[in-house]
């Protein structure tokens, strides 16, 4: 089975507001899927529903062949879902190393930490995650001294350190310089060998570069979905962006 995530008819209401309105979306295994759309179109709501931070009003979410529509966010993480939210959430007063260590520990049960994981294997797990995001030599520094871009990389490293099957990223390059964006793309590319990615971004050049497929949301509905080339040539996509953004 080549589909990692199959979402059918997902609906989310906040009071009377229909934030998601019957969204169908499939993320393939070892594939990068971009989610784009104007402000308020429901992108963050969609990622939160997949991660279990918000329960949908209706619809189904199937992950790696399993129905997770009603699963807790902890259960989803255990099955291999990992999320980096839109707002940066590193702990400034902790070292770069300890931020990743906490993420890894939180994803393990106490029993597995006590019984099977030695501190050394945890250390390997943390250092290899830092290494992939060019932060290994900053491990002992406080996370608060990192630049904004480096903090974003630290958060991606935290999300990846738990070995997810699907990584969800909400605007990971927000506030980055063009050079940091370029590097972010390069750092993300190799993870395709081990997991799928569902990524929200406003930078269309970035999303074009990195994605295999793209879905365009508008007012909680899928306006179009397809390969990068198909979306680039989509008149619906052009209309959504020229009239709304
Ligand atoms: N917790 C909430 N309670 C009520 N309304 C919400 C909540 N979260 C989001 N909304 C509303 O749902 C709609 C979709 O919001 P969402 O944050 O998913 O959009 P988005 O596509 O991520 O936008 P942006 O590009 O600005 O990040 C918006 O109208 C927003 O105001
Ligand atoms: Mg958002």
pLDDT tens digits for 172-182?
A: 998 999 999 99
**Is the per-residue pLDDT at 34 higher than 80?**
yes
Give, using CA atoms, the residue closest to atom 28 of ligand 1: 40
φ, ψ of residue 118 in degrees (nearest 5): -85, 165
∠ CA(42), CA(48), CA(51), 5° rounding?
145
Q: Is 215 in the pocket of ligand 1 (CB under 6 A)?
A: no
Mean pLDDT along residues 52-72: 94
Q: How far is the CA of 55 from the centre of ligand 2 (A)?
A: 17
**Is the per-residue pLDDT at 75 higher than 50?**
yes
For 62, other C-beta atoms within 10 Å of its C-beta total 16
Reading the block at residue 39, the tokens are 């402000």
Residue 114 has a pLDDT of: 61
Give, using CA atoms, the residue closest to atom 9 of ligand 1: 45
Dist. CA 78–CA 82, nearest whole Å: 9
Dist. CA 170–CA 213, nearest whole Å: 16
Per residue in 122-157, pLDDT tens? 888 899 999 999 999 999 999 999 999 999 999 999
Pocket test for ligand 1, best of 10, 16, 37, 43 (most atoms within 8 A of CB): 43
Q: Is 14 in the pocket of ligand 1 (CB under 6 A)?
A: yes
Domains and CATH numbers, the chain: 3-244 (3.40.50.300)
Mean pLDDT of the chain: 90
Contact criterion met (CB below 8 Å) for 49 and 56:
yes
Residue 245 has a pLDDT of: 45
Sign of the Cα pseudo-torsion (154, 156, 157, 162, in order) = positive
Dist. CA 240–CA 152, nearest whole Å: 29
Q: Is 74 in the pocket of ligand 1 (CB under 6 A)?
A: no
Reading the block at residue 98, the tokens are 């300890």
Give, using CA atoms, the residue closest to atom 17 of ligand 1: 44
Give the residue from 39, 164, 179, 27 showing the smallest Cα distance to 104: 164
Q: What ligand 1 atom has the least distance to the C-alpha of 45?
A: 18
Q: How far is CA 227 from CA 35, 52, 161, 237, in A?
A: 12, 27, 29, 13
Residue 117 has a pLDDT of: 54
Reading the block at residue 125, the tokens are 């797990």
**Is the per-residue pLDDT at 210 higher than 70?**
yes
Q: Is 220 in the pocket of ligand 1 (CB under 6 A)?
A: no
Pocket test for ligand 1, best of 25, 42, 201, 202 (most atoms within 8 A of CB): 42
């Amino acid at each position: 089975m080549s589909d990692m995530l199959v979402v059918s008819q997902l609906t989310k209401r906040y009071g009377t507001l229909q934030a998601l309105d019957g969204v169908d979306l499939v993320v393939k295994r070892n594939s990068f899927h971009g989610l784009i759309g104007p402000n308020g179109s429901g992108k963050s709501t969609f990622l939160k529903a997949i991660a279990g931070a918000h329960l949908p009003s209706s619809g189904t979410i199937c992950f790696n062949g399993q129905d997770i529509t009603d699963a807790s966010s902890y259960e989803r993480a255990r099955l291999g879902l990992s999320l980096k939210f839109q707002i940066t959430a590193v702990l400034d007063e902790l070292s770069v190393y300890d931020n990743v260590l906490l993420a890894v520990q939180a994803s393990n049960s106490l029993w597995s930490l006590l019984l099977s994981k030695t501190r050394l294997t945890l250390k390997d797990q943390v250092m290899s995650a830092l290494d992939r995001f060019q932060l290994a030599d900053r491990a002992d520094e406080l996370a608060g001294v990192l630049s904004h871009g480096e903090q974003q990389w630290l958060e991606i490293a935290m999300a990846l350190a738990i070995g997810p099957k699907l990584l969800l990223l909400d605007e990971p390059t927000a506030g980055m310089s063009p050079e940091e964006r370029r590097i972010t793309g390069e750092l993300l590319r190799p993870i395709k060998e081990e997991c799928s990615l569902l990524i929200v971004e406003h930078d269309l050049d970035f999303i074009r570069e990195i994605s295999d497929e793209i879905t365009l949301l508008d007012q909680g509905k899928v306006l179009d979905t397809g390969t990068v080339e198909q979306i680039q040539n989509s008149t619906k996509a052009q209309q959504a962006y020229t009239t709304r953004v």
